[in-house]
Structure 1
Amino acid sequence: MPDQHSTLRAQRRAETQRVIQAHAVRLFTGHGYDATTVADVAEAAGVSPMTVYRHFPTKEDLVLVDQHARLVAERIAASSAAQPLVRRIGSALIDAATTLTSGGSGNSGDSPTTNEQFLLARLRLMISTPALRARHLDNNYALQQAIVDALGDGATDSDTAFRTQAAASACLAAMHTALVRWSEDDGRTDLPDVIAKALAAAFGEGVLGTGPDA
Structure 2
Amino acid sequence: MKYRSVFDIIGPVMIGPSSSHTAGAARIGRVARTIFGKQPDAIDITFYGSFAQTYRGHGTDIAIVGGILDFDTFDKRIVDSISLAKELGIAVLFHVSDEEVGHPNTARIKLTDKDGENLEIAGISIGGGKIEIIEINGFPLKLSGNAPTLLVLHEDRYGLIAGVSNILTKYAINIGAMEVARRDKGSEALMVIETDQEVPRSALDEAKKIPYVISVSVVMP
* Fold shared by both chains (TM-score > 0.5): no
TM-score, normalised by the number of residues in structure 2: 0.29
Bigger Rg, structure 1 or 2 = 1
* Higher share in helix: 1
TM-score, normalized by length of structure 1?
0.30
